[in-house]
Amino acid sequence: MSTYCNDIGIKRGTTRIWLFVLAYLSVTAALAQKIPAFRNESLSVKTRVKDLLSRHTVEEKIGENPSSCPNRALK
C-alpha cells in the first residue's frame, strides 16, 4: 500500500511541476510580445507607415483617400 501512496504522491508532484512550468511559460510569452512596428519610434517613418497600412482593410485604405469622399475633403 505504501507504494501506491508514493505513486500518487509522485503523480501529484509531477502535476504541480507541470502546472508551474505552464504558468511560467504563459507569463513569459505574454511579456515577450513585441511592440508593433508602427508604434516603434526607433524605426523610420517609412517603415512605420508601411506596417500600419499593411494592417488596414481595403475599406479603411479607401476611406483615407480624400478623393473617395468629396464632402469630407471640403470640411
> Are residues 49 and 68 located together in one domain of the fold?
yes
> Are residues 42 and 26 located together in one domain of the fold?
no
Count the domains in the chain: 2
pTM above 0.75, yes or no: no
Q: Is the pLDDT of residue 75 over 90?
A: no
d(CA 12, CA 8): 6
The reported pLDDT for the residue numbered 57 is: 92
What's the pLDDT tens digit per position in 37-71?
898 889 899 999 999 999 999 988 888 877 766 66
> Are residues 48 and 38 located together in one domain of the fold?
yes
> Are residues 39 and 18 located together in one domain of the fold?
no
The reported pLDDT for the residue numbered 62 is: 84
The reported pLDDT for the residue numbered 45 is: 95
The reported pLDDT for the residue numbered 7 is: 55
Contact in structure between 47 and 37 (CB atoms under 8 Å): yes
Contacts of 19 (CB under 8 A, 6+ apart): none
Range of the domain at 56: 34-75
> Are residues 11 and 27 located together in one domain of the fold?
yes
> Are residues 20 and 47 located together in one domain of the fold?
no
> Are residues 47 and 25 located together in one domain of the fold?
no
> Are residues 52 and 24 located together in one domain of the fold?
no
What's the pLDDT tens digit per position in 17-27?
888 888 888 87
